[in-house]
Chain A
Amino acid sequence: MSYGEKELIDRAKKGDVNAFEQLIEGCQKKVFNIAFRMLGNIDDASELSQEVFLKAYKSIKNFKGDSLFNTWIYKVTTNTCLDELRKRKNKKVVSLDEDIEFAGNEIKRQIRDNSPGPEVAVENNELKRVVGDSISMLSEEYKTVIVLRDIHGFSYEEISRIIKCPEGTVKSRISRARQALKKILQQKKELINEEYVK
């Protein structure tokens, strides 16, 4: 830890907002983007990252300095994201293609598909979008490591510190997460192909 960072941390521990803001300057965007990829939308990500920083400001007194400040912030970020995802899980989610009971008869729920057709999907940007969307279908565990490793490029060692798991676990989890993502993408591809054939 650099001397400057240590001094800022000491000041932030005493409640100095200015020092705290200097500390988080370098990681704000990353925190926001991790939250965005984990939660899947900008508004929630914005609110959650603010929560992360408020939480960090409140609890910086407990930061012991045995890891880097940024690692600590990312740890707070992933934990807060996972809490939020778990909270959401408990809320009832309406399935889009579930049949609705209407006046005793079941009718098909019809939702317009806003996603562009397969012809656009071959473009690189689209591929990114499809891959990005597929991340949201991963389990929390897999989502976390994919976001940290493949989108944000954290090393295995850093991830092991952030999610508090042994490096061996991180390695196998990343491997399985990528396999799972590949599977989701394959299914999407098949769906697109089916549509195309129609």
Chain B
Amino acid sequence: MKNCGEIIELISLYIDNELDNESRNDIEEHIETCESCRSELESLREIVGVLGSIEDVELPSGFKENLHERLMAQKNDNGLNSKIVLFKKKPFGFVSSVAAGLILVVVAGSLIMTRGLYGNVAKDGHQMLMNTHESESAKLALDGDKQSDESEGLDNLENYSIMFDEADESSKSRKVDGIGEAGESKEMQEFPDNAICSIAPTVTIEPSEVTAPSSEEPQVSCITVAGLGIYDVHIIVNAPDVEKEIGKINDIASSCNILLKDKIIATFSQGDSSAVSSPDETKKDEKVLNFNMDNSKYTCFIDELKAEYGDNLSFDDKFDGDGTMKRLIITVEE
């Protein structure tokens, strides 16, 4: 038999039905005879009852709208930092770093061997490329620049990143591989043997491949650097069933491995030049979708969108010249 102190300890759990049968029976037996414990139980039950009947207060007006604005502001703050494109280094990254080091040593070694420490005796065409004079380097860089201008898909070079040549398992690297191969093959043509190729005003270099060293001198293939332009793509969707189109666009985007950055519900007045005015008077929802993507994804995305929407897809020319900011308008008639 439990005493009053023990019973009081258990009353709270008894109210919440959290006791095993034995303890519950103990309490029920006890309060039948103990007046004070019974009244303790009653008053606690009453308090718990009142607490449970306290209704929720409604959210203050404008709470969600206010929160939305603050979240968007927060997101945009983060957005400034999110433009850095990170490539996952493959496990062989270490190997390629070592290879890079070796190449430098070998190249430097061969320079010293063939031209002497002061590097002023050119022996053959290959070594010309290895010329250490500033002007030659500059010329080389210029050549690279030209190449980049000519090569397709490399016209946007505001952002540069280190490129790893090994084929990454993820499709993310499609672009990377694409450039790697394109750049490589091109440069291989122009610099058949030893070459350090550099595209545009970049500082970082990464060896793309080390081919089997021949017996006489190291065969070094191109050191490739590629820039990746990050496009900020806004799509204005103007359709009777906006959500359906957004779903489609999202599917297309994910097929190109692009993720929707943001969906903004925007209402444009009919006169707004950025919106396509709808022929009927009924108000259509217009939404702006915002994607960030690199060049190859952009190409993939636009191709797919063209295939899906054809003439319904148009470009806002105002934004076309800008380079990284693209604005597309999709209008689906009823």
Any chain B CB within 8 A of the CB of A20? yes
Asked if A15 and B79 sit within 8 Å, CB to CB, the answer is: yes
Which of A21, A33, A58, A151 is B74 in contact with, Cβ under 8 Å? A58
Distance (whole angstroms) from the CB of B47 to the closest CB of chain A: 6
Which of A17, A54, A58 is B262 in contact with, Cβ under 8 Å? A17
Distance (whole angstroms) from the CB of A126 to the closest CB of chain B: 11
Distance (whole angstroms) from the CB of A61 to the closest CB of chain B: 10
Cα distance, A185 to B58, chains bound together (Å): 26
Q: A14-B259, A16-B262 are in contact. Are A131 and B60 (CB under 8 A)?
A: no
Number of B interface residues, CB 8 Å?
Answer: 39
Any chain A CB within 8 A of the CB of B44? yes
Complex contacts, B262 vs chain A, CB 8 Å: 15-18
Distance (whole angstroms) from the CB of A168 to the closest CB of chain B: 11
Cα distance, A123 to B229, chains bound together (Å): 69
Any chain A CB within 8 A of the CB of B56? yes
Complex contacts, B260 vs chain A, CB 8 Å: 16
Distance (whole angstroms) from the CB of A121 to the closest CB of chain B: 13
Asked if A29 and B58 sit within 8 Å, CB to CB, the answer is: yes
Any chain B CB within 8 A of the CB of A169? no
Complex contacts, B63 vs chain A, CB 8 Å: 28, 32, 46, 49-50
Any chain A CB within 8 A of the CB of B54? yes
Any chain A CB within 8 A of the CB of B33? no
Distance (whole angstroms) from the CB of A54 to the closest CB of chain B: 6
Asked if B57 and A32 sit within 8 Å, CB to CB, the answer is: yes
A41-73 vs B, CB cutoff 8 Å, 1 = contact: the mask equals 010001001100110011000000000000000
Asked if A175 and B13 sit within 8 Å, CB to CB, the answer is: yes
Asked if B53 and A128 sit within 8 Å, CB to CB, the answer is: yes
Which of A20, A33, A174 is B71 in contact with, Cβ under 8 Å? A20
Residue of B nearest to A172 (CB): B9
Asked if A57 and B47 sit within 8 Å, CB to CB, the answer is: no
Cα distance, A179 to B12, chains bound together (Å): 9
Any chain A CB within 8 A of the CB of B43? yes
Complex contacts, B16 vs chain A, CB 8 Å: 149, 156, 174
Distance (whole angstroms) from the CB of A138 to the closest CB of chain B: 12
Which of B12, B56, B259 is A175 in contact with, Cβ under 8 Å? B12
A1-18 vs B, CB cutoff 8 Å, 1 = contact: the mask equals 000000000010011111
Cα distance, A150 to B47, chains bound together (Å): 9
Residue of B nearest to A167 (CB): B18
Cα distance, A13 to B20, chains bound together (Å): 43
Cα distance, A182 to B42, chains bound together (Å): 11
Asked if B78 and A15 sit within 8 Å, CB to CB, the answer is: yes
Distance (whole angstroms) from the CB of B300 to the closest CB of chain A: 19
Asked if B68 and A17 sit within 8 Å, CB to CB, the answer is: yes
Complex contacts, B51 vs chain A, CB 8 Å: 131, 146, 150-151
Complex contacts, A179 vs chain B, CB 8 Å: 8, 12, 44
Asked if A150 and B52 sit within 8 Å, CB to CB, the answer is: yes
Give 23 A-B contacts (CB < 8 Å), ordered by A residue: A15-B79, A29-B56, A32-B57, A32-B60, A46-B60, A54-B67, A54-B70, A128-B53, A128-B54, A131-B50, A131-B51, A131-B54, A149-B16, A150-B47, A150-B48, A150-B51, A151-B52, A151-B54, A174-B12, A179-B8, A179-B12, A179-B44, A182-B44
Closest 7 CB pairs of A and B: A175-B12, A150-B51, A17-B71, A33-B56, A131-B50, A46-B60, A18-B263
Further pairs besides A30-B56, A32-B57, A150-B51: 14, Cβ < 8 Å: A15-B261, A16-B260, A16-B261, A18-B263, A28-B64, A32-B59, A32-B60, A53-B71, A57-B71, A131-B47, A156-B18, A178-B44, A179-B12, A179-B44
